[in-house]
Structure 1
Amino acid sequence: MPLSASSPRTTPAPLQGLRMGMVCGDEGAPGAMLFQQAARELGAQVTVLDPTRVIEDGAALEDVARLLGRLYGAIACDGLPPAVLRRLATAAVVPVVDVQAVLAPVDGRGTEAEKERRRITHAVQAAEAVQTVQAALLAALR
C-alpha cells in the first residue's frame, strides 16, 4: 500500500524543530540545494539569508552573529570568505556549519579518500548523496 502525503514520517528526524539560517548567495546552486534538502529531510527548517544583508549591512559581524544565534539554532554558511566564516563561528553562540566542508565528500574537494568517495557517490543514486550530506551535517552539529 503506497504511503500518502498524510502518512506519518517513517524515517528519524534528528533535527526536528531546529531552525537553521543558511547564509547563501545562490540558493539555486546544486550544492546549496543538496544541503537544504538534506537538512529538511532530517527535520530542520531552513531559512536562506542573503549574505550581503548579513555581513555588509554596516553592523559589526559579532553583533550579527549574536542576533543570528537568537533567531536560529544553527547557522549554515555557503560561499563566505574563510576569514568571515571563522569570525562568525567565533562570535556565534550556536553551531556554524561550513556548507562547502560538509559537501566536500560529495563533490570531490578534500583528501584523496574524499575524492574516492566522490567516484563512488557518482556511481550511486542521488538519494545516497543526500544521506552522505545528512551524516556530515549531523556530525558537524554535534
Structure 2
Amino acid sequence: MTQAVKHPAHNYEPLATGVVTFGAVMLVIGGVLGIFRGIMAVAKDNVFVSTPDYVFRFDVSGWGWIHLILGFIAFAVGLSLFKARLWARIAGVAIAGLLLVTSFLSLPYYPVWSVVLIAMYGFIIWALCVARPGASGAR
C-alpha cells in the first residue's frame, strides 16, 4: 500500500484563499470610499484644499469624476473577486494600481488620506498577487 504524499504547497491553500478574500473585501471597501470621495469632490464640498501651484492640475471636480468612476469599477471588480477567478485577480491588481496612482497624484488635495489609501492599495496588490496558481482561490 502506498500513501499519497502531500505537496508542501497544499498547506498554503487556506492561507492563499483567505488573503485573496481579504484583498476582495479591501477592494470593495476602497471602491465605496472612492465613490464617496468622488461624490464629495463633484458636489464641490469644502472638504478639499485647493493647491494652485500643483504640477498635475485638475480642478477638484475633475479629480472627483476620476475617483467616482474608478470607485465604481473597484467595487464591481472587488465583488467579482469572491468568485475566485484569475481574470478578477488580474483586474483587481490593475484597478488597485490605478487607484494607487490617482491617490499619489491627489496628495496635495488630501495628503493624509492619500497616504493611507496608497498603503491600502499597495496591500491589496500584494494580497491579490500572493495566491499561488494551484491554490483553491486562484481558479
Q: TM-score, normalised by structure 1?
A: 0.28
Name the larger-Rg structure: 2
| Structure having the larger proportion of residues in strand | 1
